Structure 1
Amino acid sequence: MTTKFFRIFMLLLLVAGVSFPLFASAMAEVTFFSQSTATVAYQGNSVPGYVTFELKTSEPTRGYILAVGNGVQTKINLSTTDFKTVHKVEWVPWDDTKKVPLPAGEYQLKAYLSDQGYNQMQGYPLGKLTVVNETNPKPLIDQVSINPSVFAPKYGGTETIQIPFNLNRPAEVQLSIWQNGAEVYGGDKIKLLPGSHSVSWNGKDNAGRVVADGTYDVNFAFIETAYNYPATRQSGQKAGTVTIKDGDYNIPLWRVKQVVTDGFFSSDVISPDGDGINDTVSGQFTLAEPAKVSIYIANAAGAHVKNIFAEQSFQAGTHTFSWDGTDFYGGKAVNGSYYIRAMVIEGASAGYITLTDSVRFEGGYEVKALQPEKRVRVVADNTQLSVYPAGQGYTAVKGDTFPLISETIENGRYEVLVKEGVSGTINVSDVELVADSDVPGVPTTIDYTVVSGDTLWKIAAKFNTTISEIVKLNNLDPNKYLFIGQKLKVPAADSPEPAPQPVIHSVQSGDTLWKIAQKYGTTIDSIVKANNLDPAKYLYIGQKLTIPSSTPNQEPPAVEPVVHEVVSGDTLWKISVKYSTTIDVIVKANNLDPAKYLYIGQKLTIPR
């Protein structure tokens, strides 16, 4: 019944004296209707992939639009529960009954509405819509870029990866980062309209910890919302990859050092043999600020042998502990050197430091290499060893060698001596047997006591060894200062006097070859040859020059000098080559400043 006839009918009833409740009213009218496109396609590309309908009524209503045509009719829900005067929906041409896109063709649009008085509007004509097929459907998300594609998230940093994208249809979108088939990060779910958008990622996982270095898949999880009944499960679309490199997966060492400032054992030896002497060892560690820490006893390979404190909160200050020489399983530790290893915990992140002081465990099991010694060399770029105790991980790099403990291969692995007192196993496929002639001799060491003024460089030079070798022998942190009286093991050498070592000079403002040669008591010629320089060219600030050891100047033979007249293009280098002499000889003979230009016609004495 139309509104006009309804009103006439109501007027006649009133004239006849028929009364009605006060809440009775006429059916609401459609006051406005629009659609964003007359032609639509499922996942459209050349035509829109969705259509927006807007319908307004004079009174609050709820209901749907029915699309009828091509032997099909399907509902387009406006509101199924709430009464509204303004209905606005996005819709894709989808058949909810058959769960397929609507067939191509023309569809009539009709409104079916109900107001709060339960008055019905049935089949109100709204217009028509043409559906077409697309041979090249458009994805929901495209035009994705990842900037930067290589990212190094840092401790306390605020940098993020920016991921702009274009959305072609209305959807609820969520950034999702995956690796090896598992999600490591899921962002917020955001309902978006079509257009340009951007999301970001700070390189952290769902727990807020910086992820490990590696390559990660950048995915979008989504639910398209322009359906009568949107999906309840997300779909996914891979957008690209990002590489995390040099990220702070663990709290960086500099930060851990700010928290844990010191730690040492009360004695040098622990020998739990029940005689009441050195059966236990006490130790202490110092915190500069309140922190949650775990304290471990670690072996020379850094593997945890005993957990002293597990994720315990401490105030700033010095704290003590005791170790009875047992490992995780309650048995005696293996003979060797042991260290205090601290783990600092901040939120979901953790970082480690191994303190330099050590205690020797004696009287237990001795881990020994085969005699005569046989070694294996790592041939893989990186390989993981399983080490004592509890099969903890230890990473070796290509070229590392390890003495064999046994030649027997078990489960495809050799048993090797990883460090003093630390056994481990390594894949046979990752190593090669070292020929006897290639086996390095086990270095004989001597004890050295640090004195005032000592540095690792000075000690290495004194004993004709390297800083790296001293660091390895003593499990040192090379960034930490030595202290007077500290005991170090150094390789014994036939001669404690080192061979002359070249010095590296960093060029500073005002430096010239002449000034540098004078500073180090050498010659310009020696510096030029050692660094393959063109002396006519300027030095630059920060340039590294190798300064060879000074050698006594040899007196040139007493030959009558010649006089050279400078011509265009001459340099001291060219002149020295021409006369088979050196720049230094010419400079000294003529009292020149080699930093200044020669001038045409200048007379130079050339000693022969």
Structure 2
Amino acid sequence: MGYGGFPRMDFGGYRVGYSGYRPMSRMIEVTSFNLSASTVAFQGSRVPGFTTIQLQTNVPTRGYLLIVGSGVQTKINLSTIAYKTVHKVDWVPWDDTKKAPLPVGIYQIKGYLTDQEYNQMQGYPLGQLTVVSESSPKPMIDGVSPNPAVFSPKYGQTQTNSIQIPFNLNRPAEVQLAIRNINGDEIYTGSKETLSPGSHTVSWNGTDKTGRIVMDGSYEIVFKTIETAYNYPSTTPLTWRSGTITIKDADYYIPVSRLREIVTDASFQSPSFTPDGDGINDRVTGQFTLAVPAKLSIFIANAAGAHAALVVSEQTFEAGTHTFEWDGSDIMGGKVPNGSYYIKLNVIEGPNSGYITFPSAVKVQNMYEVKPMQPEKRVRVISDTAKMSVDPAGQGYTAVKGDTFPLMSEAIENGKYTVLVKEGVTGTISVSDVELVTEPSSTKPTADYIVVSGDTLWKIASKFNTTSSEIVTLNNLDPNKYLYVGQKLKVPASASQPEQQPATTYSVVSG
């Protein structure tokens, strides 16, 4: 029986109900039905991999389509909640029941619709489509071509400077860009976008998830996709590895030019101290000047640039001059050896940070000496670069081809020599990265020279009738770093010196 005791009648595949208290309901009619492709294949290459279905009715409806053929049938939901007059869905030939692509064959499309007055259309024939197979399925994403392929992200320019990554999308999908490092770790993920098939472009500014510029190296482009063609079962993203980007000359650390705008000066207030615990001159005071408020940490660096001590952990300071103290302790809780030590600040701006070291040094005295073996033997770096571990705590240091280091011992442990890297700093280097020096530089007669204010390598070389490079070699110096007052250097013994004084200590005085 129908509503209000009236009979319910069926008319040619759809049913119309009516009531004695209102006019007869309007019949559901399909006013148009279209397929963007009548022949499809799962992940199609020669033919489309999906079809867009558009169905229009005379009254708002909701419901589904049934795809029937080749001994199977599967549903395509049009709208399960909202009533619409126009239904539009993308669909791939997928059997949602068996979780597999539809077999090759011809399929009938039937409509099952309900309107707001509960009138129904059951099994209404709408047309047919053909499913074929593909011998070489097309990937979801192809045509990826980053521009430029080598990218140099710069500090302060990440909002305006980025690498463009064009790609072609072959089926409707939700797409998300990801960037992975050489270890496969995901360091960046872009926003998710629901896209139609065709050409698209995403961008990356060279920063990681925190917003910091990444280090130089090779990075993998990965696209995560979830197909949005209706009834496709994927809910976990598929990943498409789509090439690489090379990052070169990136500002991983805040550039020194910016750091000098923040920290204008740093120095020790004494040239030396003796942290031997006798209560006299056991501590040294340092100071630094900020042009603007800044968050920073303060380290004490040894002659190799390694962190010998942390004296101020991450803290925010106002603009102006500030002081700190150091008692000669190292990061391991012991006391540092004799040598020269520098103020090294780690400045933090947002997710970025950078180190700046100032040339003013303090001399640690009356502690223990770090001396190479005698007679001295040296090794020379033969690799283009050699990664070293230096004291304290095995920190990183890079040596370059041609660098020479005095041996602390001829013993080889775990395939490495222990060498004197810089004044008061030992480290280890792989035997395969070096060769023994057969004629060490110490075979030439030398004199000791103490650096005074105003000295440069060129001036010292002129005084002793030699070259700057000879002094660099004799002392294993980094020519790009400052000399400091009180630094002891070996210089070639001058031919004009008296024979009875082939090797003396000479200190330059006023005048």
> TM-score, structure 2 length as denominator?
0.87
Does the C-alpha gap of structure 1 residues 82 and 106 become closer, same or farther in structure 2, counting only changes over 3 Å?
A: same
Does the C-alpha gap of structure 1 residues 329 and 427 become closer, same or farther in structure 2, counting only changes over 3 Å?
A: same
What amino acid maps onto 1:33 in structure 2? F
Match of 1:170 among 163, 172, 185: 172
- The residue aligned with 2:241 is 238
CA distance in 2, matches of 1:374, 1:458: 29
CA distance in 2, matches of 1:188, 1:103: 36
Structure whose residues are more often helix by fraction: 1
CA distance in 2, matches of 1:496, 1:29: 112
Structure whose residues are more often strand by fraction: 2
User: If you compute each CA radius of gyration, which structure gives the higher value, 1 or 2?
Assistant: 1
Comparing 322-331 and 112-121, the one that deviates more: 112-121
Q: Show the 5 A alignment for 1:470-485.
A: none
Tell me by how many angstroms 1:6 deviates.
6.0
Does the C-alpha gap of structure 1 residues 379 and 473 become closer, same or farther in structure 2, counting only changes over 3 Å?
A: closer
CA offsets 1:9-36 (integer angstroms, 9 cap, x no match): 84xx74xxxx47x9x9455432322111
Please tell me whether the aligned partners of residues 42 and 92 of structure 1 are also in contact (alpha carbons under 8 angstroms).
yes
Tell me by how many angstroms 1:212 deviates.
0.9
Please tell me whether the aligned partners of residues 13 and 121 of structure 2 are also in contact (alpha carbons under 8 angstroms).
no
Is 1:410 paired with 2:413?
yes
CA distance in 2, matches of 1:381, 1:171: 47
Q: Show the 5 A alignment for 1:389-428.
A: 389-428=392-431
Is 1:104 paired with 2:104?
yes
CA distance in 1, matches of 2:122, 2:211: 55
Does the C-alpha gap of structure 1 residues 257 and 445 become closer, same or farther in structure 2, counting only changes over 3 Å?
A: farther
Comparing 441-450 and 313-322, the one that deviates more: 441-450
- The residue aligned with 2:11 is 2
- The residue aligned with 1:210 is 213
Does the C-alpha gap of structure 1 residues 393 and 45 become closer, same or farther in structure 2, counting only changes over 3 Å?
A: same
Does the C-alpha gap of structure 1 residues 169 and 241 become closer, same or farther in structure 2, counting only changes over 3 Å?
A: same
CA distance in 1, matches of 2:69, 2:300: 79
Does the C-alpha gap of structure 1 residues 234 and 204 become closer, same or farther in structure 2, counting only changes over 3 Å?
A: same
> TM-score, structure 1 length as denominator?
0.74
Please tell me whether the aligned partners of residues 174 and 192 of structure 2 are also in contact (alpha carbons under 8 angstroms).
yes
CA offsets 1:205-237 (integer angstroms, 9 cap, x no match): 111111111111112111111141452211111
Tell me by how many angstroms 1:276 deviates.
2.7
Please tell me whether the aligned partners of residues 152 and 244 of structure 1 are also in contact (alpha carbons under 8 angstroms).
yes
Tell me by how many angstroms 1:449 deviates.
3.0
CA distance in 1, matches of 2:87, 2:171: 19
Does the C-alpha gap of structure 1 residues 150 and 469 become closer, same or farther in structure 2, counting only changes over 3 Å?
A: farther
Does the C-alpha gap of structure 1 residues 342 and 332 become closer, same or farther in structure 2, counting only changes over 3 Å?
A: same
Q: Show the 5 A alignment for 1:494-509.
A: 494-495=493-494
Tell me by how many angstroms 1:442 deviates.
9.2
Please tell me whether the aligned partners of residues 15 and 119 of structure 2 are also in contact (alpha carbons under 8 angstroms).
no
- The residue aligned with 1:44 is 44
What SS does structure 2 have at the residue aligned with 1:406? coil
What amino acid maps onto 2:213 in structure 1? V
Is 1:287 paired with 2:251?
no
Gap runs ≥5 in structure 2: 1-9, 497-511
Does the C-alpha gap of structure 1 residues 37 and 444 become closer, same or farther in structure 2, counting only changes over 3 Å?
A: same
What SS does structure 2 have at the residue aligned with 1:203? coil
- The residue aligned with 2:390 is 387
Tell me by how many angstroms 1:291 deviates.
0.9
CA distance in 2, matches of 1:86, 1:272: 85
Does the C-alpha gap of structure 1 residues 340 and 5 become closer, same or farther in structure 2, counting only changes over 3 Å?
A: closer
Match of 1:323 among 322, 326, 330: 326
- The residue aligned with 2:452 is 449
- The residue aligned with 1:376 is 379
Tell me by how many angstroms 1:450 deviates.
3.6
What amino acid maps onto 2:140 in structure 1? L
Match of 1:297 among 296, 300, 305: 300
What amino acid maps onto 1:100 in structure 2? A
Q: Show the 5 A alignment for 1:187-202.
A: 187-202=190-205
CA distance in 2, matches of 1:222, 1:355: 50
Does the C-alpha gap of structure 1 residues 72 and 333 become closer, same or farther in structure 2, counting only changes over 3 Å?
A: same
Tell me by how many angstroms 1:455 deviates.
6.2
What amino acid maps onto 1:212 in structure 2? M
CA distance in 1, matches of 2:304, 2:395: 10
- The residue aligned with 1:132 is 132
Q: How many residues align?
A: 483
Please tell me whether the aligned partners of residues 27 and 115 of structure 1 are also in contact (alpha carbons under 8 angstroms).
no
What SS does structure 2 have at the residue aligned with 1:146? coil
Does the C-alpha gap of structure 1 residues 155 and 356 become closer, same or farther in structure 2, counting only changes over 3 Å?
A: same
CA distance in 2, matches of 1:289, 1:496: 53
Q: Show the 5 A alignment for 1:313-352.
A: 313-352=316-355
Which structure has more RCO (C-alpha within 8 Å, separation ≥ 6)? Answer: 2
